[in-house]
Amino acid sequence: MGLSQWPQGSRLRSFQRLWPWVILLAVLGLVRLSKGAGFADAFALLSRPFWPGSAQREWVQSAVRQNDVSRLELLEQDNARLRGLLELDQLSAGDRVQAAVISRTPSGWWQQLELGKGSFAGIAKDDAVIGPGGLIGRVQSVTPSTSRVRLLTAPGSRIGVWLPRTRQHGLLAGLGTARPQLQFLDKDVQVQPGDLVSTSPASTLLPPNLPVAVVQTVNLRGVPAPTALVQLIAPPDAIDWVQVQVR
């Protein structure tokens, strides 16, 4: 009797050894058929306590709002730049030549820029260069197809200017920074921040009554006369197109 049951017991033990592999193969088959959906559900269930809460959701919403604000600011900047180009295009007539800024050098960012037009377009040395809003410099050198502009912010740049409110003359000198220095000829000045600086009404070297800058700070203790720092109305670092006043 015991001998007759031995083969059955052997088969039972063999099945017991094989059934984990059978179950594993069945599970793998189900995973393949379901494309891992079961594991994804299980992972989601186990990780639910660690899901972002309200604070993280607010952070995400804040980031989305900041992104929208940044995109709006960029669109407004592009819109302003395009409006400036449109104004330049409308003003380009007669003795003004419109030209693109084609090159800048990092070491001379506030000193010079290159234009994509030259003597073939009628541009000559010392011609005034005008950006959207006002004067930015003068032509320093010319080739047949390009021009190099010396900016008003460049060290050594000096032009005579006029303050319409106080009816005083001054000298605008570049310092190699974003803000040139306004040097007064008289010790008694009534200038104040916000005053407009323009070219002289009687200027023959530059277009008369052309806006140039706005006074930012005033140093009444300057020697031999008071000085002021000004901000150019047409910032040279943000200009893509200019006009050249040809003579």
Q: Of 37 and 146, which is predicted with more confidence?
A: 146
pLDDT band, very low/low/confident/very high, at 2 (cuts 50, 70, 90): very low
72's tokens? 């709006």
Question: Are 63 and 140 within one domain?
Answer: no
pLDDT in tens, 198-235: 998 878 888 888 899 999 999 888 778 889 999 999 88
**pTM of the predicted model, to two decimals?**
0.61
pLDDT in tens, 73-99: 667 766 666 666 565 555 444 488 889
Question: Are 65 and 170 within one domain?
Answer: no
Beta partners for residue 114, in sequence order: 103, 148
31 phi and psi angles, rounded to 5 deg:
-60, -40
**End-to-end Cα distance, the chain:** 127
Q: What is the CATH number of the domain that holds 104?
A: 2.40.10.340
pLDDT in tens, 118-137: 999 999 999 999 988 889 99
Question: Are 113 and 39 within one domain?
Answer: no
The closest alpha carbon to 213, from 148, 167, 166, 153, belongs to 153
